[in-house]
Amino acid sequence: MSYDVLKSENVYNGRVFHIEKDEITLPDGRTCARETVVHGGAAAMIPIDENGKIIFVRQYRHSARTETLELPAGTLEKGEDPLVCATRELEEETSYKSNDFTFLFKMYSAIGFCSEILYIYLAENLFPGKFNMDDDEFITIERYTLEESIAKIWNGEICDSKTIAGILAYKEYLTNKN
């Protein structure tokens, strides 16, 4: 099947993403418009502390108009390796560092309308670093066991897609590791 782009127009430029409106051909020859949020990607990590607990960040997310409980994450800089981003964001958001990252998987954040790919890592053997949050970030740190984290998914407290996928992948990782 062919979905050729006939025309592409940049309709918005933002700080973190831009929006393109494309005219594409469908397999039956008709054409239609598609809008895409074009994002350079991000990295998230599942940091495990010395007690085996997962370190989360609680922060305000304006699109949801609420604070959310999430895995630490950050946007890739242009051309940046996802592991470099994960290393930087771990320290910036949690004040921990690690030299022990395991790549778990990658995923689209919202494949129906967004090009963002998230790279998810496990971060173990943490050691102290320092907070270096962005000027517009107000983050608090929370720690939970895997079981508590899964319960927070089912009760709706954790509702962020990368966090849900990361926690469930971590559970599977531990099952397969043992």
Active-site annotation holder among 23, 80, 124, 137: 137
Pairing of strands 42-47, 73-75: antiparallel
> Is 93 among the catalytic positions?
no
Report the b/e string of 47-68 with b at 16+ CB within 10 A.
bbeeeebbbbbebeeeeeeeeb
Where helices occur in the chain by DSSP H, the ranges are 82-94, 146-154, 161-177
Active site residues: 137
